[in-house]
């Protein structure tokens, strides 16, 4: 086999092993080292000690060091810690029930409250599993007790939970910035309007769906609604502190007053203060937050080490060249290239999660953006929207499995799949809208930082 053929074999073997359930980070490492040993195989081995003189081990060491010294990635554990503390500070449950009461006159008030809570909480944590799990324990029982349709209620939670990888400050965008060597500030600014528009579309869909079929989301009984003064007092106490904290974190980044890491540190400290003010900060909750932060951070870091090693070996063997020649050989127009790239990412979302797609496959398309004269920040926003589908596409819709995991026998997986399919269509419609009007993603960063010049 030629080296490029070995590279393509390496890629398909990786996809197959991941679909079989092998741990992704360590699969990347093992395949990177294994195929890298072949790519760097030393000629003329004279002794057993020469076996370990292969340059793949030096490459692995350098990639590990590069991840450890990457300033952009420092923000990840701080944002994670901020989210885990907020999740354990009893802020989210207060926020949900306050929003639910404030919106009680609207069709599907609990669903709207759940979506808004998901959007706000997602910006504080950026972890889809944490948002879906917590809202599944909090919002789904409330909707079930109010006789909401099971599929409708589960779809709201699954779709709302995925907003965290798009709405800033998003961990996914930090990872993308590190991979594509783009400014995280510009990425955050570019994601503001697409994220808000997608959340708005979800709410509009809920309103229309419940208006057409009120039986799926009955209105709360009047005797269950507290006085107006109490509603707005509870909303003030729960909604304002968290949104102010998030606004300060995001504003300091977009205003150039702090780097993402500095803003994340401020957010983590602010989350601790909120937890203290709500009298919910215990030693046990602090230990849980630190442990979960360390666990998630280690996963991300090892993913980077493994993916950079894998990608380096794939490139050395000529894999990127093969794909580039294949794409260029089709003589595509720029819009056709964008459609092809997004279709590939969409279908990869069936068996894979956003992290694998972002770290392994997106870099394959990045060198082609200049050839097709595609703005890298516009492409990033298309990818960010598209990655929402990796959590919503059966049969491997991870948000559905997160929800099923906490609800267990209270709902069937097929009912969750039925509930999330309309939101999958909304995501695709949002991508089409942004393609027709690129200013949705590009106006705000150009306004803040000046027009992008490659």
Q: Which residue has 């909090």 as its token pair?
A: 138
Question: Rounded to the nearest 10 degrees, how much is the dihedral formed by the CA atoms of 61, 63, 65, 68?
Answer: -140
Helices 362-369 and 334-348 pack at an angle, to 10 degrees, of 170
Q: Is the peptide bond preceding residue 395 cis, with omega within 30 degrees of 0? A: yes
| pLDDT score at 362 | 83
* In-domain check, residue 197: yes
Q: d(Cα 31, Cα 317) in Å, to the nearest integer? A: 13
* In-domain check, residue 76: yes
* In-domain check, residue 423: no
* 3-state SS, one letter per residue, for the chain: CCHHHHHHHHHHHHHHHHHCCCCHHHHHHHHHHHHHHHHCCCCCCCCHHHHHHCHHHHHHHHHHHHHHCCCHHHHHHHHHHHHHHHHCCCHHHHHHHHHHHHCCCCCCHHHHHHHHHHHHHHHHHCCHHHHHHHHHHHHHHHHHHCCCCHHHHHHHHHHHHHHHHCCCCCHHHHHHHHHHCCCHHHHHHHHHHHHHHHHHHHHHHHHHHHHHCHHHCCCCCHHHCCCHHHHHHHHHHHHHHHHHHHHHHHHHHHCCCCCHHHHHHHHHHHHHHHHHHCCCCCHHHHHHHHHHHHHHHHHHHHHHHHHHHHHHHHHHCCHHHHHHHHHHHCCCCHHHHHHHHHHHHHHHCCCCCHHHHHHHHHHHHHHHHCCCCCCHHHHHHHHHHHHHHHHCCCCCCHHHHHHHHHHHHHCCHHHHHHHHHHHHHHHHHHHHHHHHCCHHHHHHHHHHHCCCCC
* In-domain check, residue 250: yes
Helices 128-145 and 398-407 pack at an angle, to 10 degrees, of 50
| pLDDT score at 190 | 93
Range of the domain at 83: 72-297
Burial class (CB in 10 A: 0-12, 13-18, 19+), 120: buried
Residue 318 to residues 70, 275, 328, 452, Cα–Cα distance (Å): 27, 52, 15, 31
Q: d(Cα 109, Cα 125) in Å, to the nearest integer? A: 24
* In-domain check, residue 312: no
Cβ pair 377, 182 in contact under 8 A? yes
* In-domain check, residue 330: no
- For the chain, the domain total comes to 1
Q: d(Cα 146, Cα 221) in Å, to the nearest integer? A: 9
* In-domain check, residue 334: no
| pLDDT score at 57 | 79
- Output the tens digit of pLDDT for each of the chain's 454 residues: 777 788 888 888 887 887 777 777 788 888 888 888 888 776 545 545 556 667 777 787 887 887 777 777 777 888 888 878 877 777 777 778 878 777 777 888 888 988 988 888 777 666 677 778 878 888 888 888 888 999 999 999 989 888 877 888 777 888 888 888 888 889 989 998 999 999 999 999 999 999 999 889 888 765 556 666 666 676 677 777 777 888 888 888 888 788 888 888 888 888 888 888 888 878 888 888 888 888 878 877 887 788 778 888 888 888 777 887 888 888 888 888 899 889 888 888 777 777 778 877 788 888 888 888 899 999 999 999 998 888 888 777 778 888 888 888 888 888 888 899 999 899 999 999 999 999 999 999 998 888 887 7
Structure tokens at 42: 């030393």
Contacts of 418 (CB under 8 A, 6+ apart): 151, 155
Q: What is the CA radius of gyration of the chain?
A: 23
| pLDDT score at 47 | 47
Q: Which residue has 């979506």 as its token pair?
A: 115
Cβ pair 187, 380 in contact under 8 A? yes
Q: d(Cα 314, Cα 26) in Å, to the nearest integer? A: 16
Q: What is the pLDDT of residues 325-337, one digit of tens each?
A: 888 888 888 888 8
- Find the distance separating the first CA and the last CA of the chain, reported in whole Å: 38
* In-domain check, residue 253: yes
Q: What is the pLDDT of residues 270-317, one digit of tens each?
A: 888 888 888 887 888 888 888 888 887 887 788 778 877 888 888 888
Other C-beta atoms within 10 Å of 317: how many?
A: 24
Cβ pair 172, 166 in contact under 8 A? yes
Other C-beta atoms within 10 Å of 9: how many?
A: 14
Q: Which of 5, 148, 172, 162 is nearest to 80 (CA)?
A: 172
């Amino acid at each position: 086999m030629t080296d490029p053929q070995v590279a393509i074999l390496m890629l398909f073997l990786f996809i197959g092993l991941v679909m079989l359930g092998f741990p992704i980070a360590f699969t990347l490492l093992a395949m990177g080292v294994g195929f890298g040993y072949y790519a760097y195989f030393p000629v003329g081995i004279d002794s057993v000690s020469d076996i370990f003189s292969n340059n793949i081990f030096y490459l692995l060491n350098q990639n590990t060091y590069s991840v450890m010294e990457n300033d952009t990635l420092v923000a990840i554990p701080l944002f994670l810690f901020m989210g885990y503390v907020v999740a354990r500070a009893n802020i989210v449950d207060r926020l949900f029930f306050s929003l639910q009461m404030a919106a009680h006159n609207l069709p599907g008030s609990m669903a709207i409250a759940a979506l808004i809570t998901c959007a706000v909480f997602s910006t504080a944590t950026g972890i889809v599993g944490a948002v879906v799990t917590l809202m599944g324990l909090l919002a789904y029982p409330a909707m079930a007790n109010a006789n909401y349709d099971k599929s409708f209620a589960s779809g709201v939670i699954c779709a709302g939970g995925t907003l965290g990888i798009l709405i800033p400050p998003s961990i996914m965008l930090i990872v993308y910035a590190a991979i594509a060597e783009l400014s995280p500030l510009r990425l955050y600014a570019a994601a503001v309007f697409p994220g808000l528009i997608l959340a708005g579309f979800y709410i509009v869909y809920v309103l229309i769906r419940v208006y057409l079929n009120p039986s799926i989301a009955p209105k709360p009984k009047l005797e269950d609604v507290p006085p107006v003064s109490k509603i707005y007092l509870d909303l003030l106490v729960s909604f304002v502190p968290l949104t102010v904290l998030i606004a300060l974190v995001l504003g300091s980044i977009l205003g150039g007053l702090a780097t993402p890491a500095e803003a994340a540190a401020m957010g983590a400290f602010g989350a601790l203060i909120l937890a203290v003010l709500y009298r919910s900060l215990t030693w046990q909750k602090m230990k849980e937050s630190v442990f979960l932060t360390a666990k998630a951070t280690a996963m991300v870091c090892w993913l980077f080490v493994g993916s950079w090693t894998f990608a380096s070996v794939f490139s050395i063997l000529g894999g990127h060249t093969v794909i580039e020649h294949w794409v260029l050989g089709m003589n595509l127009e720029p819009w056709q290239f964008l459609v092809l790239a997004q279709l590939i990412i969409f279908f990869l979302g069936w068996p894979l999660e956003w992290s694998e797609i972002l770290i392994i496959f997106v870099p394959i398309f990045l060198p082609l953006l200049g050839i097709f004269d595609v703005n890298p920040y516009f492409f990033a926003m298309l990818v960010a929207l598209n990655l929402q589908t990796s959590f919503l596409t059966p049969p491997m819709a991870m948000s559905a499995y997160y929800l099923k995991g906490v609800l267990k026998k209270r709902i069937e997986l097929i009912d969750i799949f039925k509930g999330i399919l309309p939101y999958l269509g909304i995501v695709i419609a949002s991508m089409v809208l942004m393609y027709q009007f690129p200013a949705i993603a590009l106006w705000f960063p150009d306004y803040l930082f000046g027009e992008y010049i490659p």
